[in-house]
């Protein structure tokens, strides 16, 4: 593949909102996208030019996608690294991030071990495959502790605070394939969007994440902490990038402890929810940056245009149902407010349906405005 444009096609395994925003960012560069996703008319289609309806681990479908694109990437960790590696070898289609990177991040124990071996700070942890190992972890790491499924978890799913074997068994059933971590006494949760390009790396400003029920509600940039702690978070993020092999955007979630230490929590080898602010808030969005990196193009500036607040629009507590979004006129009448609706037909509790962004010189004011803007929106019956 050459890095000349236009008439370049990028394949994306996954067709959710990240794929949608990747397609939107690729189009102005003259890059066409094709997505693979099992959901008919997934959120990424359109703006993707085409969709292959297949499971993320369907190797023949991934092969078919690779054969019609210039490079292959992913927007969901459910992509299968073995299938991606096999396809890369058989088609010579570049795959980024590398299958190695996905193997590291999709297994929370492997991720901790990889970071630990590289001298990157993480909370104390233990692998757990039995009741006896959990008992040992409770004794060594303290009780209660955080217990996580090694694979398959996201948005807080598969993460449970436990203080006994009985509590863990009730939550997970089988006590195998788990990782135990000390509970971190953190002052705030941070994240850094890092980028590995072709012979270059880049770091976005440090963001502050506000969670409820382990679901991201708001991101504020720059993070409301000291400059020295932001510098340390950026330094740790650059170290994290060094353990990976492929190109692309990496979402790096961090804890800032009460005594100022920065610990890595988890890493996503793709654009990240906490980086959505970059669409309006940064010179180059994380989505354009990912396209550039995967295709081997020069990276864009990661500079912050203005302090920015982002708020997720999440599904309500009602039953899963088709909906329309109400209150859009009121929101769009608010100065400096930007709406991103992901085009999902059905709402479910805590499902990410969209996000709202506000930029301006006063971060505290932006935070209040973005929360007020979100409150103007509500879900109504689907249009007939």
Question: CATH homologous superfamily for 186-381?
Answer: ATP-grasp fold, B domain (3.30.470.20)
Q: In 3D, which of 90, 104, 96 has the Cα closest to residue 75?
A: 96
Kindly state the tokens that stand for 89. Answer: 């070898």
Supply the pLDDT for residue 198: 96
Contact 51, 35 (CB under 8 A): yes
Supply the pLDDT for residue 189: 98
pLDDT in tens, the chain (384 residues): 445 555 799 999 999 999 999 999 999 999 999 999 999 999 999 899 999 999 998 999 999 999 999 999 999 988 889 989 999 889 989 999 999 999 999 999 999 999 999 999 999 999 999 999 999 999 999 999 999 999 976 666 678 999 999 999 999 998 999 999 999 999 999 999 999 999 999 999 999 999 998 899 999 999 999 999 999 999 999 999 999 999 999 999 999 999 999 999 999 999 999 999 999 999 999 999 999 999 999 999 999 999 999 999 999 877 788 889 999 999 999 999 999 999 998 999 999 999 999 999 999 999 999 999 999 999 988 874
Count of C-beta atoms within a 10 Å radius of residue 88: 18
Is 83 annotated for ligand binding? Answer: no
Cα–Cα distance list, 89 to 59, 85, 93, 223, 251 (Å): 13, 6, 8, 42, 27
According to DSSP, the residues that pair with 346 across neighbouring strands are 322
Supply the pLDDT for residue 2: 47
- Where do we find the tokens 């959990």? 134
Cα–Cα distance list, 182 to 139, 146, 170, 191 (Å): 11, 6, 20, 20
User: What is the C-alpha separation between 213 and 199, in angstroms, rounded?
Assistant: 39
Supply the pLDDT for residue 377: 96
Backbone angles phi, psi at 16, to 5 degrees: -85, -160
Q: In 3D, which of 188, 231, 330, 216 has the Cα closest to residue 276?
A: 216
Is 344 annotated for ligand binding? Answer: no
User: What is the C-alpha separation between 11 and 50, in angstroms, rounded?
Assistant: 10
CATH 3.30.1490.20 placement within the chain = 124-182
Cα–Cα distance list, 9 to 35, 54, 76, 244 (Å): 11, 19, 19, 24
Is 235 annotated for ligand binding? Answer: no
Supply the pLDDT for residue 153: 67
Supply the pLDDT for residue 155: 61
User: What is the C-alpha separation between 188 and 351, in angstroms, rounded?
Assistant: 24
Is 261 annotated for ligand binding? Answer: no
Contact 52, 65 (CB under 8 A): yes
> Please, what's the b/e burial string for 24-41 (b: 16 or more CB within 10 A of its CB; e: otherwise)?
bbbbebebbbbbbbeeee
CATH 3.30.470.20 placement within the chain = 186-381
Domain covering 8-95 in this structure, CATH number: 3.40.50.20
Going 127 to 130 to 136 to 141, the CA torsion angle's sign is positive
Q: In 3D, which of 191, 218, 189 has the Cα closest to residue 358?
A: 218
Please tell me the pTM assigned to this model: 0.95
DSSP string, 325-378: EE-HHHHHTSTTEEEEE---SEE-TT-EEEEEEEE-S-HHHHHHHHHHHHHT-E
Is 182 annotated for ligand binding? Answer: yes
Domain 124-182 has CATH 3.30.1490.20: yes
User: What is the C-alpha separation between 362 and 338, in angstroms, rounded?
Assistant: 17
What's the distance, CA 155 to chain centroid? 9
Is 181 annotated for ligand binding? Answer: yes
CATH 3.40.50.20 placement within the chain = 8-95
């Amino acid at each position: 593949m050459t890095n000349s444009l236009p008439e370049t096609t990028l394949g994306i395994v996954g067709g959710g909102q990240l794929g949608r925003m990747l397609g939107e960012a690729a189009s102005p560069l003259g890059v066409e996208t094709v997505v693979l996703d099992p959901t008919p008319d997934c959120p990424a289609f359109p703006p993707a030019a085409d969709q292959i309806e297949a499971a993320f681990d369907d190797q023949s479908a991934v092969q078919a996608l690779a054969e019609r694109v210039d490079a292959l990437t992913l927007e969901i960790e459910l992509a299968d690294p073995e299938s991606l590696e096999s396809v890369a070898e058989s088609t010579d289609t570049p795959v980024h991030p590398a299958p190695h990177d996905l193997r590291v991040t999709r297994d929370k124990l492997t991720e901790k071990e990889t970071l630990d071996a590289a001298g990157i700070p993480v909370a104390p942890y233990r692998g757990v495959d039995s009741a006896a190992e959990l008992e040992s972890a409770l004794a060594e790491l303290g009780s209660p502790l955080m217990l996580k499924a090694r694979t398959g978890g996201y948005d807080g799913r598969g993460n449970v605070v436990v203080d006994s074997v009985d509590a863990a068994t009730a939550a997970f059933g089988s006590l195998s394939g788990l990782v135990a971590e000390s509970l971190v006494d953190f002052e705030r949760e941070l994240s850094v969007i890092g980028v590995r390009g072709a012979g270059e790396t880049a770091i976005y400003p440090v963001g502050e994440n506000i969670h409820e029920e382990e679901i991201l509600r708001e991101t504020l940039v720059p993070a409301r902490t000291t400059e020295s702690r932001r510098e340390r978070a950026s330094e740790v993020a650059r170290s994290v990038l060094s353990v990976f092999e492929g190109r692309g955007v990496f979402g790096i979630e961090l804890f800032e402890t009460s005594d100022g230490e920065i610990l890595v929590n988890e890493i996503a080898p793709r654009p990240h929810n906490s980086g959505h602010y970059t669409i309006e808030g940064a010179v180059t969005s994380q989505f354009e940056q990912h396209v550039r990196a995967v295709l081997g193009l020069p990276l864009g500036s990661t500079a912050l245009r203005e302090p920015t607040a982002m708020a997720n629009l999440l599904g309500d507590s009602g039953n899963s149902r088709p909906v329309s979004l109400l209150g859009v006129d009121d929101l769009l009448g608010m100065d400096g407010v930007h709406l991103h609706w992901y085009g999902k037909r059905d709402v479910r509790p805590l499902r990410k349906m969209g996000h709202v962004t506000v930029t301006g010189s006063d971060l505290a004011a932006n935070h209040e405005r973005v929360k007020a803007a979100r409150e103007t929106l509500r879900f109504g019956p689907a249009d007939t």
